[in-house]
Structure 1
């Protein structure tokens, strides 16, 4: 019984240490950017023992990918909202809402998203993580397209996966431009135009 109790305490301590390192990592990345951030800085800010960060994460790239996953979970939740429209109008309303929420969440995490953009360009580990994130979103979009095709709402002469990729890449590109401040249009305008373009081409 004592052994199980001690194991439980160790597990709890490990979870707390991991959380401290992730929180410290977020702060260090935001202050220094991805390339200039170091595991030493993260360890120091977390007030953990020398080298402790390496017990939990192989390198800063691995720690950063876990931070990305935490942020992306909110977007996964949006992407996972029920999608069973009965009409083209219902589909438009739901798709526009999802698109707007996707963009709004990106802007809420704008500073971290900027670091993600930087990291994708310099870290193969982060780039691979982003590819996995893309694949997850595209898979979900593909299923939604297949649903409306079977329901007779959308054209069935389009390849669902190819359209899903195109839709995600358009959203991703405009998301980055919003995050980086490269376009002046607001989220509502971006969401409306994207959705009109998408549904206008795909739906009957």
Structure 2
């Protein structure tokens, strides 16, 4: 076996160890919550050597932000759906579909999203990560609004970036309310109300 093959094997082992730590982290965070979870618990559950977790992650905050990317992937996929409507009706139908899928994705990860909410409140690193996630969504929504404005479907005088922020923050708050059980899980009603409010104000 030559050096390149040995390196490849070592890299694969490192990737597997990292994956094991992330899986263990998810399990520990779900059981203990963010504040009570420790790297020692994660290391033990992953069956890795003492301190191995610190080779891959600076601390539990760092590991948690990696988990957040995985959790948010479904939502990124929803936000990344093509948006090129030719009519107001087409736009509304797509907005309604995306809004429902966004909320549904959060509910599918309900228990983990509760931990995310807790972590945002106590960790500056996680809060910064959430802000970068927000920025990614808002950027995409801004482009969608600019498209429909350019197409003559939406009111041109509106500031696309400002409307995008307002739309995302409204969805985010409702998403947290759904995850925390503060409003009923009637996704159809929630999605229809939000979408009609948004489309009714933005579109001509």
Query: Residue 42 of structure 1 aligns with which residue?
Result: 42
- CA deviation profile, 1:164-183 (whole Å, cap 9, x unmatched): 00000000000000000001
Give the number of aligned pairs: 204
Query: Structure 1: how far apart are the matches of 2:68 and 2:27?
Result: 14
Query: Residue 111 of structure 1 aligns with which residue?
Result: 111
Q: CA deviation at 1:185?
A: 5.1
Query: Structure 1: how far apart are the matches of 2:199 and 2:185?
Result: 20
- CA deviation profile, 1:95-141 (whole Å, cap 9, x unmatched): 00000000000000000000000000000000000000000000000
Q: CA deviation at 1:163?
A: 0.1
Q: CA deviation at 1:73?
A: 1.1
Query: Residue 164 of structure 1 aligns with which residue?
Result: 164
Query: Residue 144 of structure 1 aligns with which residue?
Result: 144
Query: Structure 2: how far apart are the matches of 1:184 and 1:39?
Result: 36
The yes-or-no answer on 1:84 pairing with 2:87 is: no
Alpha-carbon RMSD: 0.7
Query: Structure 1: how far apart are the matches of 2:93 and 2:169?
Result: 20
* Structure 2 unaligned regions, length at least 5: none
- Aligned to 2:154, what secondary structure does the other structure show? coil
Q: What is the TM-score normalised by the length of structure 2?
A: 0.99
Query: Residue 125 of structure 1 aligns with which residue?
Result: 125
Q: Output aligned runs, 1:65-80, within 5 Å.
A: 65-80=65-80
The yes-or-no answer on 1:2 pairing with 2:2 is: yes
Runs of 4+ in 1 over 2 A off after TM superposition: none
Query: Structure 2: how far apart are the matches of 1:42 and 1:150?
Result: 50
Q: CA deviation at 1:51?
A: 0.2
Query: Structure 1: how far apart are the matches of 2:95 and 2:2?
Result: 54
Q: CA deviation at 1:84?
A: 0.3
- Aligned to 2:34, what secondary structure does the other structure show? helix
Query: Structure 2: how far apart are the matches of 1:47 and 1:137?
Result: 36
Query: Structure 2: how far apart are the matches of 1:185 and 1:137?
Result: 23
